């Protein structure tokens, strides 16, 4: 009787540990699906992710964006932001495989060859502003 109790308790403990890790892994995957973003009420200031549009850049960098007329002023923190910081213009809206995100190709006014991809959630208030800039 005692051996049965010890085996059952050990089995229940093992199953609960495995279930704990499965639930934890599932929650992490669920959390990572959501992209955090802040946007002002008028949609002219927001946070986004930017990636330089070249073959060796695959990292998305968190940036702050301010829309002023036809221009985007991008700022942020860190060493990675140095290449992206400054004045940009929205060139066009890019096609995205993910329906939850919108992507826009942006370019520098002084160097049209320098381009980057700006990514925001599709339901964000800033999408209408960026679409208007892309069509102008």
Confidence at 92, pLDDT banded by 50, 70, 90: confident
- Closest CA relative to residue 136, chosen from 105, 92, 87: 92
Confidence at 76, pLDDT banded by 50, 70, 90: confident
pLDDT of residue 20: 95
Q: For 18-75, write each residue's pLDDT tens digit.
A: 999 999 999 988 887 776 788 888 889 999 999 887 766 668 888 999 999 889 999 9
What is the Cβ-side half-sphere exposure of residue 25, based on CA atoms within 13 angstroms? 6
* Domain range summary for the chain, segments of one domain joined by +: 1-33, 45-135
DSSP 103-127: EEEEE-SS-TT-EEEEEEETT-THH
In the chain, the percentage of residues whose pLDDT exceeds 70 is 90
């Amino acid at each position: 009787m005692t051996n049965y109790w010890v085996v059952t308790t050990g089995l229940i403990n093992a199953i609960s540990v495995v279930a704990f890790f499965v639930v934890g892994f599932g929650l992490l995957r669920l959390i990572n699906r959501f992209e955090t973003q802040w946007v002002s009420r008028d949609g002219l200031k927001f946070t986004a992710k930017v990636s330089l549009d070249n073959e060796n850049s695959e990292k998305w960098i968190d940036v702050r964006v301010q829309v002023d007329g036809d221009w985007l002023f991008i700022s942020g923190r860190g060493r990675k932001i140095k290449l992206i910081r400054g004045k940009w213009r929205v060139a066009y809206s890019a096609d995205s495989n993910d329906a939850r995100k919108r992507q826009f190709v942006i370019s520098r006014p002084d160097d049209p060859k320098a381009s980057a991809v700006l990514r925001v959630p599709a339901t964000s208030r800033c999408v209408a502003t960026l679409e208007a800039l892309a069509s102008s």
